[in-house]
């Protein structure tokens, strides 16, 4: 599991012995991951709720999720860039 949060910015490369099963970010965070495995689960947490999505395949459009419409759930947006990197916007 990778955990990041609180205004992280920049480009990160994930390194692990295996494929990460869950990438967890704390709201507000915007980060670019140099490599992220397609289908890996991504969660975005705030003090009240968690929103979960999955990493899109290369050349797929932006994916966005909201856990509910209460106004308390964090928004999660995952965008693949042409170079294969992943932009994670958790807010």
Domain containing 54 equals 2-90
Query: What does the pLDDT look like over 18-56, one tens digit per residue?
Result: 556 789 999 999 999 988 888 999 999 998 888 999 999
Q: Which of 14-18, 50-54, 56-60, 67-71 has the highest mean pLDDT?
A: 50-54
The tally of domains found in the chain comes to 1
For residues 37-61, b (16+ Cβ closer than 10 Å) or e, as one string?
Answer: eeebebbbbbeeeebebebbeeeee
24: how many CB neighbours lie within 10 A of its CB? 19
In the structure encoding, which two tokens stand for residue 48, read together? 């009240």
Q: Which residue has the tokens 């991951």?
A: 33
Q: Please state, in angstroms and rounded to a whole number, the distance separating the CA atoms of residues 8 and 18.
A: 24
pTM for this entry: 0.73
């Amino acid at each position: 599991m990778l955990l990041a949060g609180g205004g992280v910015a920049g480009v990160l490369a994930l390194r692990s012995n295996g494929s990460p099963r869950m990438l967890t970010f704390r709201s507000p965070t915007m980060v670019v991951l140099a490599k992220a495995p397609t289908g890996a689960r991504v969660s975005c947490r705030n003090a009240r709720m968690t929103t979960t999505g999955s990493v899109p395949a290369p050349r797929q459009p932006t994916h966005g999720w909201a856990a509910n419409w209460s106004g308390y759930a964090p928004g999660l947006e995952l965008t693949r860039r042409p170079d294969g990197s992943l932009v994670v916007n958790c807010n």
